[in-house]
Amino acid sequence: MDDLVEAVVRKGEVIIVRVVGEMNINSAPNFHTRVLEEFASAPQHVVIDLGGLTFMDSTGIGTLLEIMRRLTRAGGKLSLVRLTDFISNVFDVTKMNQVFSIYATEEEALAA
């Protein structure tokens, strides 16, 4: 499955992207393109819900870093929510938990 985006929800100037499946070298490029298409509405905050993600490799991490870089450059912010134990471990091992804003729930991310 190349399309990781299960749903895109808009709440004012916030876009919430819900992701399912495996983010890897095959699926990450389409995910990257899909999320960047959402930037056309100039969101101030993008929340990516990783609760449905079952796997992520270094390509997925690189994709999220690029999305964060572009969003930050445009004056917005990126939050990641609902990391599974596996994905949380990937972020811990790679120290990406110190780079990204990570929250347990969408509500926490929206309040930050």
Domains of the chain listed by start with CATH number:
5-111 (3.30.750.24)
What's the CA gap between 112 and 110, in Å, rounded? 6
Q: Which pTM does this prediction carry? A: 0.92
pLDDT tens digits, 56-78: 999 999 999 999 999 999 899 99
pLDDT tens digits, 22-62: 999 999 999 999 898 887 777 789 999 999 999 999 999 99
Cα dist. 101→25, 26, 30, 40, 107 in Å?
23, 25, 23, 22, 13
Angle of the 58-73 helix axis to the 28-38 helix axis, nearest 10: 20
